[in-house]
Amino acid sequence: MKTLMMIVLLAMAGVLIAVAGDVRAAERPFKKATFAGGCFWCMEPPFEKLNGVITVTSGYMGGTTVKPTYENYAAGGHLEVIEVVYDPARVSYQQMLDTFWRQIDPTDAGGQFVDRGHAYTTAIFYHDEEQRQLAEASKKALAASRIFAKPIVTPILPAVTFYPAEAYHQDYYKNNPLRYKWYRSGSGRDRFLDAVWGKERNKGIAPRPDRSELKKRLTPLQYKVTQEEGTEPPFDNAYWNNKRAGIYVDVVSGEPLFSSLDKFDSGTGWPSFTKPLVPGNIVEREDRSWFTTRTEVRSRGADSHLGHVFADGPKPTGLRYCLNSAALRFVPVENLEKEGYGEFRKLFTK
């Protein structure tokens, strides 16, 4: 009898846990992301494949007309876009940015592939300040990677009213597979993307810059630290005692990483920070080298080794991001606009 009762109680507990999990999932706030990448038929599939994406809807954004249709959206100045509803606990906005860049030609200001005109141009429409910063940093990192020889012209714009497209446009690739494959094959999109990205096309992060090129661009110490997980000497590096106002960017990609506003003297002889400037540009990984377990810190765009993070820092975060100066480049506050980091200037004018 006791055994039977225990089985019943365990079963009931399992049901309660499952229900609680479902409730938490239902209460978890979803977010929106909006991208213009030319033909919206072609933009739906790659985002629907991402784990954590809830829905992808084709539609129109950016014009002046109300309730545009497929017949008049272009005349009203709208772009073809997709609106992605996603669970930020399962997929990050940075992952979606990485996916977005791999679907388009970001150097084409006149359309996308066979489709020409403003209605088919590219854009990232941000829904909050964090998305704007991540999008700006991602665009900058893509430009610094030199994957494209021409300038990146995709604008980053505030999201406005989204108008869903007609029902027959939704999931077009599923509902009309033959016509979709015929169109996609003839559009030139896949040929272009395969030529640019190759095997990296469907990966979740940007490809690392060519190492032979990096050896030419970086000093031996910068290369050893960023590409071979090296460590520079304490108290004998560029920024451990730097007290100037400004930001620190990745020496390889230029993506913004940390701010002097969050820098403190840790007494270790390496530049230390309480938090990242753009959290989405930081990747943390378990590091079991040196007979201990630590948390390594890397940059997302260039995948550079930066240093480690420890839970012995000051308030408000209690964290210490202990970094190598050789992995960083300092941009003083007076040069932020000139070097393309003007969006961070307001942080130093409060």
CATH 2.170.150.20 segments of the chain:
211-348
Is the CA virtual torsion 89, 130, 83, 155 positive or negative? negative
User: Average pLDDT of 205-211?
Assistant: 54
The residue from 33, 322, 323, 331 that is catalytic is 322
Among 1-5, 105-109, 245-249, 312-316, the range scoring the smallest mean pLDDT is 1-5
Chain region(s) in the chain for CATH 3.30.1060.10: 25-200
CATH number listed for the domain at residues 25-200: 3.30.1060.10
pLDDT per residue over 15-45, tens digit each?
443 444 333 334 558 999 999 999 999 999 9
Structure tokens at 198: 């190759």
Helix spans in the chain (H): 2-27, 40-48, 93-101, 129-145, 172-175, 177-187, 189-197, 211-217, 220-228
Confidence of residue 209 (pLDDT cuts 50, 70, 90): low
Based on the residue annotation, tell me whether 42 is a catalytic residue of this protein.
no
| 202, pLDDT greater than 80 | no
- The CA distance from 306 to 251, in Å, is 10
Q: For the chain, how big is the Rg over CA atoms in Å?
A: 24
Which segments of 189-295 does DSSP mark as H helices, in order?
A: 189-197, 211-217, 220-228
- The whole-model pTM stands at 0.56
Predicted confidence (pLDDT) at residue 231 exceeds the cutoff of 60: yes
Q: Which residues of 33-62 are buried (b: 16+ CB within 10 A; e: fewer)?
A: bbbbbbbbbbbbbbbbebeebeebbbbbbb
Most confident of the ranges 100-109, 204-213, 250-259, 284-293: 100-109
The residue-averaged pLDDT of 176-198 equals 88
211-348 is classed in which CATH architecture?
Beta Complex (2.170)
Q: Is the pLDDT of residue 12 over 60?
A: no
Is pLDDT at 256 greater than 80 in this prediction? Answer: yes
The 10s digit of each residue's pLDDT in 259-288 is 999 999 999 999 999 999 988 788 888 888
Cα 106 from Cα 321, distance rounded (Å): 34
pLDDT beyond 50 at 204 = no
pLDDT of residue 42: 95
pLDDT tens for 305-341 read 999 999 999 999 999 999 999 999 999 999 988 877 8
Which residue do the tokens 């009931």 mark? 12
Q: Is 322 a catalytic residue?
A: yes
- Whether residue 1 has pLDDT greater than 50: no
Helix (H, G, I), strand (E, B) or coil at 298: strand
**pLDDT tens, position by position, 69-125:** 999 999 999 999 999 999 887 888 988 999 999 999 999 999 999 999 999 999 999
Q: At what angle do helices 177-187 and 40-48 cross, to 10 degrees?
A: 110
Catalytic residue among 33, 36, 39, 79: 39
Q: What is the pLDDT of residue 207?
A: 46
Residue 56 has pLDDT above 80, yes or no: yes
